Amino acid sequence: MEPFLVHIRCDTDGYTHAITEDEFAAGRHEGRFRAVCGHEVLAAPMIEEPGRFDPECREVLREGAAPSVPTQERRRLRWRTRR
């Protein structure tokens, strides 16, 4: 079964990256996602038009293997932590 991918434009590099459904669910509250290429995507405002598709994501998807997203360490935002 093909993995479901979400395409999100990154605010830092301007490329549109491929994000797996699981990674999208994990990062949706912070607006930060790990792309299939390993880049940490900071989601651009949704009113922005899509940028060029990231060449590294394209290469990973062309390889034909199911994209495995490199693991990332989830960190809590300082203003949300209680001391």
Which string of DSSP letters, residue by residue, matches 31-48?
TEEE-TTS-EEEBPPTTS
Question: Domain for residue 83, yes or no?
Answer: no
The string of pLDDT tens digits covering residues 5-17 is 999 999 999 999 9
This prediction's pTM: 0.71
What local confidence, expressed as pLDDT, does residue 65 receive?
56
| DSSP element (H, E) containing 9 | strand 5-9
Burial-class residue 18 by CB neighbours within 10 Å (0-12, 13-18, 19+).
buried
In a domain, 27, yes or no: yes
Q: What angle do CA 4, 72, 44 make, to 5 degrees?
A: 60
Question: Is residue 53 a part of any domain in this protein?
Answer: yes
Residue 12 in domain? yes
Least confident residue range of 30-39, 42-51, 69-78: 69-78
